[in-house]
Amino acid sequence: MPQPPILKVSEIFFSAAGEGGRQGEPTIFIRLAGCNLRCSFCDTKYAWKVGREMTIEEISARADKIKKKFRVDWVCLTGGEPLLQELKPLALKLRRAGFKIQVETNGTRPLNIKPDWLTVSPKPPDYRLTADCRRLADEVKLVVTRRLGLREIRRVRQALSGSVTLFLQPQSAASWSYKKAWQLYLQAARAGLCGVRLSCQLHKIYRIK
Ligand code: SF4
């Protein structure tokens, strides 16, 4: 008997989108387990663990249950790195249930679905982006780490079409990161880089998930 499609899941929950252009929108987050990077500043290290095996039916049933409680049109497939797993069967099921799909990726893996909204967050030290991600990103988030500089911002900016917004997102609630984000924002504006926006993580400010 064929195995049903199974995904390794870290958690599923409802919240407001905390980052980027969809910030504040009601969203069901499906956090897939596992990541191919090990960023020191990662705020979801718990998602590196193996996760719980769930069938597509189980995941979709959880999303439907949440939808019965909250008015929500969007599902965000995040991680960890969601593109380490085959997302097509889940995306199909969620779309049939009427959801729009956002994917949040670190940009190192080829896309295995075409989401309605693609968020790419390339990571240091090399800020690598696959050709798919360069071509299809709707937005790019750069975490303002101690190492991020105008050179890296310029490099990422040049890899993307001018219509893609590039968000400068403080690494944490730490004041140095907010100060640095502002300084980089000023430098990017002086350098004439287009589509650079100052940003923040709403869920950290509100202290919600
Ligand atoms: S890519 Fe994202 S999930 Fe993976 S280690 Fe880095 S910050 Fe964490």
The 10s digit of each residue's pLDDT in 7-49 is: 999 999 999 999 999 999 999 999 999 999 999 999 999 999 9
Per the CB < 8 A criterion, the answer to whether 10 and 50 are in contact is no
Ligand 1 neighbourhood includes 119 CB (under 6 angstroms): no
Residue 71 amino acid letter: R
The pLDDT value given to residue 3 = 55
2: CA distance to ligand 1 center in Å? 33
Q: Is the CB of 81 under 6 A from ligand 1?
A: yes
Q: Is residue 109 part of a domain?
A: yes
Structure tokens at 186: 């000023």
Question: Over 50: is that where the pLDDT of 193 sits?
Answer: yes
Answer whether residue 2 shows pLDDT above 60. Answer: no
Tokens standing for residue 111: 């896309």
Helix axes 150-159, 175-190, angle to 10 degrees: 60
Is 137 contained in some domain?
A: yes
120: which 2 tokens?
Answer: 């790419």
Rounded CA-CA distance 175/171 in Å is 10
In a domain, 102, yes or no: yes
**CA gyration radius, the chain:** 17
Residue 154 sits in a domain of what CATH number?
A: 3.20.20.70
Task: Identify whether 1 is part of a domain.
Answer: no
User: Cα separation of 1 and 121, whole Å?
Assistant: 39
Q: How many domains, in total, are found in the chain? A: 1
What percentage of the chain has pLDDT greater than the value 90?
95
- Determine the distance separating the centroid of ligand 1 and the alpha carbon of 80, expressed in angstroms: 6
Residue having the nearest C-alpha atom to atom 3 of ligand 1: 80
Q: How confident is the model at residue 1 (pLDDT cuts 50, 70, 90)?
A: very low
What global pTM score does this model have?
0.96
Decide whether any atom of ligand 1 lies within 6 Å of the 37 Cβ.
yes
pLDDT digits (tens, 9 = 90+) for 136-173: 999 999 999 999 999 999 999 999 998 999 999 999 88
Tell me if 170 is assigned to some domain.
yes
106 CA distance to ligand 1 middle (Å): 7
Query: Which helix (H) or strand (E) covers residue 176, if one does?
Result: helix 175-190
Residue 138 located in a structural domain? yes
Please provide the size of the chain in residues: 209
Amino acid at 113: I
| Nearest Cα residue to 115 out of 93, 142, 95 | 95
Q: Percentage of the chain with pLDDT > 70?
A: 98
Domain around 148: 6-206
Find, among 80, 88, 128, 86, the residue nearest to 105 by Cα.
Answer: 80
With 80 as the cut, is the pLDDT of residue 64 above it?
A: yes
Contact call for residues 209 and 13 (beta carbons, < 8 A): yes
Residue 69 has pLDDT above 80, yes or no: yes
